[in-house]
Structure 1
Amino acid sequence: MMDYKDFQLEHFLTDSFFISWVKKPDTASEHFWLNWLQNNPEKEELITEARKIILKSRYKYMYQPTEQDYLQVLEKIHQRNYSSNHRYTKPKINWYMLSAAAVIVILLAVTVILNPFQNETSIVQEKSVPQKIIRSVPNGKKLQFNLPDGSQVKINSGSTLWYMSDYNNPSRDVYLKGEAFFDVTPNPEKPFKVHVDKIVTKVLGTAFNIRAYDDDHNISVSVAEGKVSVYNNENNKVVPEISSGNMAIYKADIGSFEEQEVDIEKVIAWKNNTIVLEKASCKEVFEKLEKWYGVKFITKEDLGITGKFNGKFHDTSLKDVLTGLDFSSQIDFELKNDTVWCSKKDLPMK
């Protein structure tokens, strides 16, 4: 597969594989380009611009031959019918030559159409169907990028965010499953909305975090700067504006909201590559580390751990985290490839 790292706008606009993905994405092209963007987030704006041009435009340039062009084509056809030592005289135009010339001119015109980026290319706008742009982040990874309006997003492990290719026209809507932090570019005329199932978080320009993993059961919206409003799009239940340092929690089981103060630095520690464990059960610790490092925890037996775990790890390898947990618990950890085997320690007899 071609290396696209050094591609500029004009290269993407003429690359058949890229154009095919934009126009008619399939499983293979979708997998390739989403993974490529994940590994090359600095190309996000360039790819977005290339997609816009391809989706909204088609190129048409018809070559109109001059009388001199016809004569040159006819002359070449005539010369092929004479030996090299035959004295040249200007041929009479006949229907055979005219037909041959017409074929050549048509071929020239088709060539120009298929190669749209000529100096005299004209762009004809056409309506296109908006495409879904998906950013899916597997366990063990995180992704940071800018939306077309300049708003910054950081997506946590095991999360998916998507929006339409006509984002910001007429509205700014994104859809989330998992966890993400948003730093939104202000635009009073176009509110920014994050949709999580039937829950909508609406802002004009602020910074906030949303956590909505399937296994959390609840949806939490924590505000780092400014204010946000949260409402249920199904029954129009609304939480009064949530201000900085506060969290709105939607309790899915009872279908209602509650608000509470929160240590925002702990909530958004993940985006700064910091793991915070605070009164976490053994199960919660394993689930968090599985997402964070992209591994699987397997217990060989009932560990019987009832205590809670506390800790803070910044830019720490899984091996070092397990070493720290080993000292503070009765669990032995054995890391093999992407699997962590857990067993109860054999404590010495007293």
Structure 2
Amino acid sequence: MKYDAYAIEDFLTEESFVNYCLGTPQEDVLFWKKIIKEQPELKERIDKARTLFFLLAVKVDPVEKQKELNKLKLVIEGMQNIAEPTTELPQRNFIGRTSWISIAAAILLCIGVYALFNKKEYGKEIQPYAAGAKSILLKTAYNERKTLTLSDGTTVTVNGSTELKLDDHYNQEKRVLWLNGEAYFEVAGNKDKPFIVVSGTTTTTALGTSFKINNYNNRAHTLVMLNSGKVSVGELVGQKVVDHVQLSPGEKVEVTPDKFAKSTFNLEEIDNWKNRKLVFSTASLKEIKSILKEIYGIEVRSKNQPKKPISFTGTFVNEGLSEVLNAIGFSNHFTYTIKDDIVTLDFDKK
């Protein structure tokens, strides 16, 4: 949609939005209410833009707001003559063209200052990744985990079959990383340098927090789980970050091509992931697949599945995928093959 990439000040350039703020005509009011209903991710920006509008128009009484805004528009566009009403009101001060130019300049200055204070939330620009002398490219093999500490003090735990990239500009004006796979981030706090992870077209922005992202190339979704602090999850539109939802600890969002689905989860899941702790309690095949996917970042498929329900009970801590599969396969009579990040279970035919 047109308004997805709008920064707060951009809304004030829309005549229909100004009318929405003024409450008339009804057609424009209904239009923006519909936008908010259909795109709830824009509500926070729209509310801030509306607040900015009234801050700028605080001394204009409701009866005169539309007329004064029309005057301002004419002055800004360089019109020479501003039509004044023929009805004279007692003790009314005449506002000349020079005064309106000053007002216009003041408003533009206010908009600029307001945009400056909000730049960490919206309007973030990200240049495409470019390898350089100081860039980092980390790749992990299947079933391999690595932990690294970045120049700003941020710690990243990278799961198997994952690629993590940083370019020469990391930790200058902002901290940008590119992720394909799965990783857990413990972000060093720095309010002046947003920490942004780009995974496909999904962006996750934080200042100081810890969260996990799962985004493998062969899957049509990205999963962001927040352990502490606060993050904004959005998308990359061109080179601009457009935030859609904010997460609090214990919340996650699954991003698919057509939606951002927000829900809650047990924080213990992240601790289990970090420690590679798997707990199965009479787990069904569906539950086994889900836990293996969560801990190892792999997709589990099966063939020749028996009619008798699968069940497994056991606990593993920091064990490799093969050790876990061997134990489950022994009691449930299957062998397995692994290709890239896909595991296929082949049950014995009886």
TM-score, normalised relative to structure 1: 0.51
| Residue 241 of structure 1: how far off its partner (Å) | 1.9
Contact 2:273 2:295 in 1 (8 A): no
Report how many residues are paired: 213
Q: 1:257 to 1:280 in 2, by over 3 A?
A: farther
Q: Is the CA contact (8 Å cut-off) linking 1:156 and 1:271 kept in structure 2?
A: no
How big is the alpha-carbon RMSD for the aligned residues of Structure 1 and Structure 2? Answer: 4.0
What is the aligned partner in structure 2 of residue 246 from structure 1?
251
2:316 aligned with 1:281, yes or no? no
Q: What is the distance in 1 between the residues matched to 2:294 and 2:224?
A: 22
CA contact (8 A) 2:304 2:349 kept: no
Alignment partner, residue 332 of structure 1: 334
Indicate the SS of the match to 1:166.
coil
Inter-CA distance 308–190: structure 2 relative to 1 (3 Å threshold): farther
How many Å apart are 1:342 and its aligned residue? 5.6
Aligned pairs for 1:308-319 within 5 A: 312-317=315-320
SS in 1 for 2:237: coil
Letter in 1 for 2:243: V
Alpha carbons 1:281, 1:306 under 8 Å: kept? no
Shift of 1:163: 0.2
Go from structure 1 to structure 2 and tell me whether the alpha carbon gap of 1:261 and 1:165 turns closer, same or farther (over 3 Å shift).
same
Q: CA deviation at 1:317?
A: 5.0
CA 1:313–1:212: 2 relative to 1, 3 Å: same
| 1:234 equivalent in structure 2 | 237
d(CA) in 2 for partners of 1:298, 1:205: 37
Residue 71 of structure 2 corresponds to which residue in structure 1? none
In structure 2, the partner of 1:205 is 208
Post-superposition shift, 1:333?
2.9
Name the CA distance, whole Å, in 2 between partners of 1:129 and 1:215.
28
Cα distance, 1:262 vs. partner?
Answer: 0.7
- What secondary structure does 2:192 align onto? coil
Deviation at 1:268, TM superposition (A): 4.8
Q: Deviations over 1:169-207 (max 9, x none)?
A: 122111100100000110001011101122111101001
User: Partner amino acid for 1:134?
Assistant: L
- Residue identity opposite 2:316 in structure 1: F
Residue of structure 1 in register with 2:56 after alignment:
none
Mapping of residues 190-201 of structure 1, within 5 Å = 190-201=193-204
274-283 or 242-251: which moved more? 274-283
Displacement of 1:264:
2.5
Question: Judging changes above 3 Å, is the alpha-carbon distance between structure 1 residues 319 and 136 closer, same or farther for their aligned structure 2 residues?
Answer: closer
TM-superposed deviation, 1:304 = 4.6
1:279 CA drift (Å): 5.4
Identical residues among aligned pairs (%): 24
Is 302-311 or 284-293 further displaced after alignment? Answer: 284-293
Find 1:177's aligned residue among 173, 177, 180: 180
Q: Structure 1 residues 286 and 335, CA, compared in 2 at 3 Å: closer, same or farther?
A: farther
Name which of 247, 257, 261 aligns with 2:264: 261
What's the CA shift string for 1:201-227, capped at 9, x where partnerless?
A: 110100111111123321111110111
Partner of residue 192 from structure 2, selected from 189, 192, 205: 189
Q: CA deviation at 1:132?
A: 3.0
**Matched residue type, 1:243:** S
1:309 CA displacement: 6.1
- Higher alpha-carbon Rg: 1
**Structure 2 SS opposite 1:216:** coil
* Cα offset, 1:166, TM superposition: 3.3
Match of 1:220 in 2: 223
Contact 1:335 1:341 (C-alpha < 8 Å) held by counterparts: yes
The residue correspondences of 1:1-350 to structure 2 (distance < 5 A) are: 131-234=134-237, 238-252=243-257, 254=258, 256-275=259-278, 281=286, 284=289, 288=293, 302-304=304-306, 307=309, 312-317=315-320, 320-326=323-329, 328-329=331-332, 331-333=333-335, 343-345=346-348
The structure-2 alpha-carbon separation of the partners of 1:260 and 1:130, relative to structure 1 and needing over 3 Å to count, comes to same
Distance in 2 (CA, whole Å) between partners of 1:251 and 1:279 is 27
State the match for 1:124 in structure 2.
none
- 1:305 and 1:288 mapped to 2: Cα distance? 23
CA distance in 1, matches of 2:188, 2:224: 18
What secondary structure is seen at the aligned counterpart in 1 of 2:177? strand
Equivalent residue of 1:249, what SS?
strand
Stretches of structure 2 that go unaligned for 5 or more consecutive residues are 1-130
Q: 1:281, 1:309 within 8 Å by CA — same for their partners in 2?
A: no
Q: Secondary structure at the match of 1:281?
A: helix
Inter-CA distance 163–307: structure 2 relative to 1 (3 Å threshold): farther
Instruction: Check conservation: 1:201, 1:229, Cα contact below 8 A.
Output: yes
What letter corresponds to residue 325 of structure 2 in structure 1?
Answer: L
> For residues 222 and 290 of structure 1, what CA distance do their matches in structure 2 show?
13
